[in-house]
Structure 1
Amino acid sequence: MVKKRQGPLTEDTTKVILESISDGVFTIDDNWKITSFNRAAEEITGISRKDAIGRHCWDVFRSNMCEEDCALKRTMEQGRRFINSSGYIINSEKKKVPITASTSLLIDKNKEVIGGIETFRDHSLVEQLRKELSTKFKVQDMISNSDAMKTIFNILPQVSDSDSSVLIEGETGTGKELLARAIHNISHRKNEPFIAINCGALPDTLLESELFGYKKGAFTNAMKDKPGQFALADGGTIFLDEIGDTSPAFQVSLLRVLQEHEFTPLGALGQEKTNIRIIAATNRNLSLLVSENKFRQDLYYRINVIRLFLPPLRQRMEDIPLLVEQFIQKMNIRQGKFIQGTDKKVLQTFMSHEFPGNIRELENIIEHAFVLCSQGYIKLNHLPGFLSEPVQTNGEKNSDPVKSAQINLIRDALARNNYNRSAAAKDMGIHKSTLFRKIKKLGMTL
């Protein structure tokens, strides 16, 4: 007959189990002082149990959860357990370690609460893999998982290797300057200047003096020679934003630069050579302006050697979670905060919003939230007033906000085009076969 193990032997067995698991485990008493600390806890934190036991848990972990969002504190106050709370700790080498933590009350054999217990798991490898995966959807500061943007990312190396002029079309706020900078930064001109000029913000005379420069005495108050941006950017790239807002007179001057690679400073007697690449951008339909004789046809063909179209955010809603994460990371660094992410209702609200201001509007919304949110997760009350209430999407209940947004996007495009699928695909900026695949993948019944 086998004897049952009792007393100290059972406690020893428990210790062996705790020492064998890969999750960190520690316990605290009712004074918040650590009473046990397993081997995995030592490895994850880099702190020995000898140094940990007897100290307050917040002195050992230095976690972002210690102040307001401590799961163990909530467990002790509310008497219930919490599972997979996300956060990070600072280890002994002062490195940030991403973790998930689960907490519960510590109860003795008399059913008395004697403290709390927390298990935590190191997610450093998961985070590393996530970052490696995200780089597949990222070029420079641009990030996307949409088909239209992936097409641009795939051809960007070839576009950058060329010196041909590029025309970037897209609505305001879609990231045209970011794309222009990406082209420059991976080209052979990357070590030379990148200069951006907003053509719509300057009248002709100022625009010409800004770009071409001027000679002493060219006009009143021209006391000395001033080189223009074409001279300063020699060897690099000039980005001409809102080129559709320029006048026919300026277009003639710009055409000469593209044809002859030379320009005339105001008040100069001769030409100056330039070695620059021109990337132009517009939120207007240049081909329509050409047909209306509001934009020179010869200049249009000169700048339209390579044409790239940036779709509006409402046509790439699957990118919103990626963009939100990117903006949160950037603003955490800039403002010295640690915002962990967004509440689920916030993401649902974003997926239901049209974003007329595109990516720039989304970034401004996140910046607004950072003013009101000091730590933890961005919630609805941190958003601007017009976004404070989540919008219902066609009365449908779908736990996946990305999927809901894609379904609504397709339905809206179909409705605008009298349910002509080819026309709807063109409206969305995708091939009709891509639209059919999306409809099938989403399980839509039309």
Structure 2
Amino acid sequence: MDTRGRATVVDLFGRSIPLSSLLDEIPSAVVILSRERRVIRLNRAAEALTGIRSEDAWGLPCRHVLRSSLCAGSCPLRSLSPDTGPTCREGDIINRDRQKVPVRITFSLVCDHEGSPVGFLEVVEDLRILQQLSDKKAHAYSFGNIIGHSPEMERLFSILPGIAQTDSSVLITGETGTGKDLLAEAIHQVSGRAKGPFIKVNCGALPETLLESELFGHEKGAFTGAAHSKPGRFKLAHNGTLFLTEIGDLPLSLQVKLLTFLDDRIIHPLGSTKGIRVDVRMIAATHRDLHAMVREGRFREDLLFRLNVVRVHIPPLRERGDDVRLLLDHFLAFFSSEFQKKIKGFSAEVLDLLLHYPYPGNVRELKNIVEYAVNVCTADTIQRRDLPAYVVEAPRGVPAPAEPAVPSRVASAPEALSPARAVSAEEGWEEVERRMILDALVQARGRRNRAAELLGWGRSTLWRKMKRYGIVGNQNRGE
């Protein structure tokens, strides 16, 4: 070996081979150190990772070349001996461009023929790609604050970024507690209107007289008590998004005014003779069956057409499969951190109970259950005694909420199939669902594609539930 660390390997393959020709072919970064922990050699991958040439690094202490977070404490090389073998640690290094790079370093002791230590070998793996893949995977399982990895949610997440980039009106449907409000805000946050205001109005929270003023505003003296002019929510949402939740509770008289705005984008405050043009994107949400309300004369059909430009349905939690476990773990970690408790997880009994609970209140109910359990838990795992009494006492297969089902599709879909017979008080949800599947298959003459449409499910959801309930036979798959 010369003074710059250029060395040869003697008698390898029966010939003397330059060490560099071997090291440079290794894709991972390799650093060879002397017994004094000074750099002897960097291979090409190590030069690329650190931004330092091997010749420039020669003779420098390892900590001055890698500048690793692992050097802050006791150097891992100090603990190596011929008896302990290699050790592996994860940390960060700072390259020549002052970038922090996450790495995994394997530290090994190099011994001579007699077993005496002569130096050290460090193999440095760049973890940036793995982190990017992990982040990408995590992003695929979420949109805003909504998480899930069931096929239904993955399909939903795949189309939402494109929807967010348009100004089309969006109608979000789904049962109470599924996360319609979160989805509306997430659409706003990733849209071109993200820097504008996001204004939310609950159409069922105010009486009709106050709701009109709240939405469209009023002029001074427009009615008794109107001592000052007030801008409505439409005006406050200018250049942003107006979210009307519980749109099914909007009175018919205000449905007409909302329809007028959607046609010309002009609002007319109470007591004003002049209209005001506003640039607002409309997102509406409801847990009601608006088509049924149209048939009953309680909702305008033309307004439904205006709102239903893009329809997004959030499936109920009972149709999201493994998302229940994902959400349980997510909220347990969140509330454990929030309440500064060291809770590791759920007991086997509690986990089995929670995985089979029907969650009529959907994700909101699941969140509340976990928050309650973390509040009262005094051990390192959630026990049966930590759950709300109604969850423990509830029989498995509690009937689903009585509100009408909405087809779980984006855009218009056929009406969801209803049970052909009445549901008895003793009959659990699982039996009701099994019967609905059988009725759908009979009505579709065994074609699973058609049966899935009647039920408002995806094909994979139908097939999974058929296997769950043992409904597998020679029905035509309808592929």
TM-score of Structure 1 vs Structure 2, range by shorter chain = 0.5 to 0.7
Asked whether the equivalents of residues 210 and 229 of structure 1 are also in contact (C-alpha less than 8 Å), the reply is yes
Is the partner of 1:196 in helix, strand or coil? strand
Contact 2:152 2:458 in 1 (8 A): no
**Correspondent of 1:183 among 181, 187, 204:** 187
Tell me the SS of whatever aligns to 2:225: coil
Tell me the CA shift for residue 382 of structure 1: 0.9
For 1:425, the equivalent position in structure 2 comes to: 452
Tell me if 1:378 matches 2:405: no
The alpha-carbon distance between structure 1 residues 282 and 240, as it changes in their structure 2 partners (threshold 3 A), is: same
CA deviation after TM superposition for structure 1 residue 435, in Å: 2.6
User: Residue in 2 aligned with 1:160?
Assistant: 164
- Distance change (3 Å), C-alpha of 1:275 and 1:338: farther
Residue number in structure 2 paired with 1:268: 272
DSSP 3-state at the match of 2:161: helix
Is 2:336 the counterpart of 1:332?
yes
From 416, 419, 422, the counterpart of 2:436: 416
Shift in alpha-carbon separation, 1:442–1:171, aligned structure 2, 3 A: closer
Task: Indicate the residue corresponding to 2:42 in structure 1.
Answer: none
Structure 1 residues 135 and 325: alpha-carbon distance in aligned structure 2, compared to 1, 3 A threshold: farther
Q: Report the equivalent of 2:373.
A: 369
Partner of 1:436: 463
2:272 is aligned with what amino acid?
A
Larger radius of gyration: 2
5 Å matches for 1:269-348? 269-348=273-352
Aligned equivalent of 1:227, options 208, 219, 231: 231
CA deviation after TM superposition for structure 1 residue 132, in Å: 5.5
Structure 2 residue corresponding to 1:248, chosen from 236, 247, 252: 252
1:351 maps to which residue?
A: 355
Contact 1:416 1:424 in 2 (8 A): no
* Counterpart-to-counterpart distance in 1, 2:451 and 2:311: 22
Contact 2:325/2:355 (<8 A) preserved: no
Larger helix share, 1 or 2: 1
Instruction: Name the CA distance, whole Å, in 1 between partners of 2:230 and 2:173.
Output: 32
Where does 1:97-108 land on structure 2 (aligned, <5 Å)?
none
* Aligned 8 A contact 1:349 1:390 in 2: no
Q: Is the 8 A contact 1:174 1:313 kept in 2?
A: yes
How many matched pairs? 325
Segment of structure 1 superposing worse, 289-298 or 327-336: 327-336
Q: Amino acid of the residue matched to residue 192 of structure 2?
A: H
Counterpart amino acid of 1:416? Answer: M
Shift of 1:225: 1.3
Kindly state the Cα deviation for residue 418 of structure 1 after the two structures are TM-superposed. Answer: 3.2
Cα drift, residue 136 of structure 1: 2.1
By how many angstroms is 1:436 displaced?
Answer: 3.0
Q: Residues of 2 paired with 1:435 and 1:48: CA distance?
A: 57
Letter in 2 for 1:418: L
Residues 83-102 of structure 1 mapped to structure 2, 5 A cutoff? none
Contact 1:314 1:409 in 2 (8 A): no
The whole-number CA distance in structure 2 between the counterparts of 1:179 and 1:224 is 35
Deviation at 1:438, TM superposition (A): 6.5
Structure 2 unmatched runs, 5+: 1-68, 77-90, 92-128, 398-427, 442-447, 474-479
| Cα distance between partner residues in 2 of 1:357 and 1:168 | 17
Give the Cα separation in 1 of the matches to 2:461 and 2:306.
32
Quote the offset at 1:424 in angstroms: 5.8
Report the CA distance shift for 1:428/1:126 in structure 2 as closer, same or farther (over 3 A): farther
Contact 1:146–1:318 (CA<8 Å) still a contact in 2? yes
User: CA–CA distance in 2 between the matches of 1:211 and 1:419?
Assistant: 45
Percent identical residues: 42
For residue 172 of structure 1, give the secondary structure of its aligned residue in structure 2.
coil
Structure 1 position 248, deviation (Å): 0.9
1:361 and 1:392 map into 2 onto residues whose CA distance is 16
After TM superposition, give the deviation of residue 269 of structure 1 in Å.
1.6
In structure 2, what is the equivalent of residue 85 of structure 1? none
Distance in 2 between residues matched to 1:187 and 1:234, nearest whole Å: 15
Q: CA deviation at 1:342?
A: 2.0
Structure 1, unmatched stretches of 5+, are 1-42, 51-90, 92-124, 394-407
Matches of 1:227 and 1:176, distance apart in 2: 26
Question: Where do residues 50-129 of structure 1 align in structure 2 (5 Å cutoff)?
Answer: none
